[in-house]
Structure 1
Amino acid sequence: MDFTVIDVETANPNLASICQVGIAVFRGGKLHQTWSSLVNPGDYFHPINISVHGIDENMVSSAPSWAQVYPQILPFVTDQIVASHMPFDRTATLRACQSAGLAHFDCSWLDTARVARRTWSECSQSGYGLKNLAAKLGISFEHHDALEDARAAGEILVHAMTHTGSTAADWCSLANQPLANVLRSFNELGINPHGELAGNVVVFTGALSIPRREAAELAASGGCEIGSGVTKFTTLLVVGDQDIGRLAGKDRSSKHVKAEELIAKGQNIRILGESDFQVLLGFESLGR
């Protein structure tokens, strides 16, 4: 029943641009210790990200860099089971460590979304987002605060362990086992229902380093459905790295503009760069 949960917020679509980190330590199935810090990403803040978490340049002007908070994080995560809800936070810490020339954490990672999908059948294909699960389980939290999100994810894992009788260590293995109920349509589309990003709908925009068809195949291997345009069903917009680099300026594709409009209206869409997306799926920047 012992584990640590980590959650981060980012300044812009680059996953390495961590501007807040929160850690919740659970011992014996109870919240034991918490720690959090603002982080100066040394990068620009995109208005969309600010609208989500409320953190801006002024708030982190005197905050430590990722390299400076890294030694404080290590005691919480080294040789521990470290949980995060969905693989984005895990990948963001990896990208931040790579940018700073630091070794990534030596721990056993556990995705609490994968745990939830295998614990509650009604959440196997949808409804396993942090906010939805918290509402289902009666967990109160302030969404998009890194520490609050980490605590909520930890409480979801405790509920799952209590419901199933499996420990956090058990779930490190169980979370990678196939779902019992797989929709046939996923197999017909060539989509991996057990992938890291199963349940997401991804749209690509901008100049990618690999052909669109190859990018779509990678996305399908990670569990994503592929959309041709940004709609109310879109959950991920993957932008070519060169285009991501220009986001601090004015140039954005029509898909990008549409995604930002939907985000402003409350739709849960994550915008990220192509290389971050590839690392998220376990591929080290193919075509680079």
Structure 2
Amino acid sequence: MQGISFTAIDFETANSFRASVCAVGLTKVRAGHVVAQRIWLMKPLPGYTEFDPTQVAVHGITAARVSHLPDWRSAYGPIMDFIGGDALVGHDVSFERSVFAKANEASGFPIPALEFHCTLELARQHLQLPRYSPSDVVAALDIPAYNHHESGDDARASALIAIELARRTGSSTLAELWPSSEKPVAKMPGYYSAGYTRKLADLPKANPLANPEGPFFGQTVVFSGDLAAMARVEAQDAAAAKGATIVNSVTKKVTLVVGAEIDGGTRFSAKVKRAHELAAAGQDIRVIGELDFMRLLGDE
């Protein structure tokens, strides 16, 4: 597996905002073997410093633990040096990609032209499982158990998942392992920009293999505006991966509207207003904000 070389990555954030990065784990792979690992803890960037108790319960990182450490602006250079020119691999890597973008945006840094590959996508292609959380995939591949939501362990788990699936599929390069790989973010200038609206044919399909007990499974969801933590298309992808049907308009089939704040929450979009009208008329439809959406997204 000479061509199976990359860096696996995992971020943890202090709250639902992607710019609130507080930890990153990196695992370097060369020719199908783990050769190096690094973990950076950091305090969140100014303006994103609140530690949400829900997030702390997941990863165990507290404000006190990182208050004396540099933030992303200081860690970014050494992190990029460790990555070098590698492609980045992660489980549901859209999260890692958006953390890079949002943290750099908040720091005034350019978004690097990085290549991303997703082990969640890979597992869905090659395994038949009820669920595809990192723990489920690790167990299915007989990879040693690990400490989920510890950034170093999560990055190593993603690396080992990619290595094992490369071995099972006989892939000797990343292009063979991910034949339809994601393009670097710098080559998609409009796709994740604010206000971007997909055409109906381009909306993501509901994942039929998602957890049927999950909060989004079977829901028909409309997003109104871009969230602070991620662009609308990323939020659509995340909800569809959990089994939601994504649409662009509020109709009598819609069960959930995710509304971004407008003017600090002092007014509502036309979609949110329409949802309230339908709810008042007896339709089973509800409106939630970004914080509730991010919390629901974190549910298995």
Q: Same fold (TM over 0.5)?
A: yes
* CA displacement, residues 161-210 of structure 1 (integer Å, 9 cap, x when unaligned): 0010113232343456xxxxxxxxxxxx9963499xx95838799x9437
How far residue 220 of structure 1 moved from its aligned partner, in angstroms, is 7.1
Q: How does 1:1-288 map to 2 (within 5 A)?
A: 1-42=4-45, 43-86=49-92, 87-120=94-127, 122-123=128-129, 126-139=130-143, 140-166=145-171, 167-175=173-181, 192-193=204-205, 199=210, 201=216, 208-209=224-225, 219=236, 223-224=240-241, 225-226=244-245, 228=255, 240-241=260-261, 268-269=298-299
Partner SS, residue 165 of structure 2: helix
Deviations 1:214-249 (A, max 9, x none): x79x837984514736xxxxxxx956246999xxxx
Question: How much identity, in percent, do the aligned residues show?
Answer: 25
Task: For 1:129, give the aligned amino acid.
Answer: S
RMSD of equivalent CA atoms: 4.0
The structure that has the greater radius of gyration is 2
Say if 1:57 and 1:40 are closer, same or farther in 2 by CA, change over 3 A. same
Superimposed CA distance per residue, residues 78-102 of structure 1 (whole angstroms, 9 cap, x where no aligned partner): 4211111111112111111111111
- TM (normalized to structure 1)? 0.67
Cα distance change on mapping 1:11 and 1:242 into 2, 3 Å:
farther
Q: Structure 1 residues 26, 19: closer, same or farther in 2, change over 3 A?
A: same
TM superposition shift of 1:24? 0.4
Kindly state the Cα deviation for residue 31 of structure 1 after the two structures are TM-superposed: 1.0
C-alpha change, 1:254 and 1:191, in structure 2 (3 Å) is: closer
Whichever residue aligns with residue 96 of structure 2, its letter is D
Where in structure 2 are there 5+ consecutive unaligned residues? Answer: 183-200, 227-231, 246-253, 266-285
What code does the residue aligned with 1:93 have? F
Partners in 2 of 1:58 and 1:146 — Cα distance? 18
Inter-partner Cα distance in structure 2 for 1:244 and 1:93 = 25
Letter in 2 for 1:88: F
Residue in structure 2 matched with residue 273 of structure 1 by the alignment: none
d(CA) in 2 for partners of 1:244, 1:119? 44
Q: C-alpha displacement at 1:129, in angstroms?
A: 1.6
Please tell me whether the aligned partners of residues 191 and 221 of structure 1 are also in contact (alpha carbons under 8 angstroms). no
| Cα distance, 1:104 vs structure 2 | 2.5
User: For the residues of structure 2 that align with 1:169 and 1:190, how far apart are their CA atoms?
Assistant: 24
User: What code does the residue aligned with 1:24 have?
Assistant: T
- Mark the CA change 1:257 to 1:51 in structure 2 (over 3 Å): closer, same or farther: farther
Report the 3-state secondary structure (helix = DSSP H, G, I; strand = E; otherwise coil) of the residue aligned with 1:80.
coil
> Aligned equivalents of 1:221 and 1:14: distance in 2?
15
AA matched with 1:94: A
Q: Aligned AA for 2:236?
A: A
**Counterpart residue identity of residue 35, structure 1:** R
Contact preservation (8 Å) 1:50, 1:56? yes
Partner of 1:286: none
Whole-angstrom distance in 1 between the partners of 2:292 and 2:158: 26
The offset of 1:77, in angstroms, is 2.4
Tell me the distance in 1 between the aligned counterparts of 2:174 and 2:99. Answer: 22
Q: Give the whole-Å Cα distance in 1 for the aligned partners of 2:32 and 2:108.
A: 34
Q: Structure 1: which amino acid aligns with 2:81?
A: P
